[in-house]
Amino acid sequence: MEETRNIQKKYCSQAMIVAISAAVLLILLGEKSIGKGLVLGTLFSVINFLIMGQFLVVQLTAPRSRTRAGAFALMSILLRLVILAIPLAISLRVDAVNFIGAAIGMFMIQLTILFNHLVINRLPSGKKV
pLDDT tens per residue across span 64-87:
788 888 888 899 999 999 999 999
How does pLDDT run across 12-35, given as a tens digit for each residue?
A: 999 999 999 999 999 999 999 999
Q: Does 3 score more than 90 pLDDT?
A: no
Query: Going by C-beta distance under 8 Å and a sequence separation of 6 or more, which residues neighbour residue 106?
Result: 41, 42, 44, 45, 48, 84, 87, 88
How does pLDDT run across 40-67, given as a tens digit for each residue?
A: 999 999 999 999 998 888 888 877 788 8
pTM for the complete prediction? 0.85
Classify residue 120: in a domain, yes or no.
no
Q: How many domains in the chain?
A: 1
CA dist., res. 55 & res. 72, Å (int): 9
Classify residue 27: in a domain, yes or no.
yes
Enclosing domain of residue 21: 2-113
Q: Give me the pLDDT at residue 129, please.
A: 45
Q: Give me the pLDDT at residue 73, please.
A: 87
The number of beta carbons lying within 10 Å of the beta carbon of residue 100 is 13
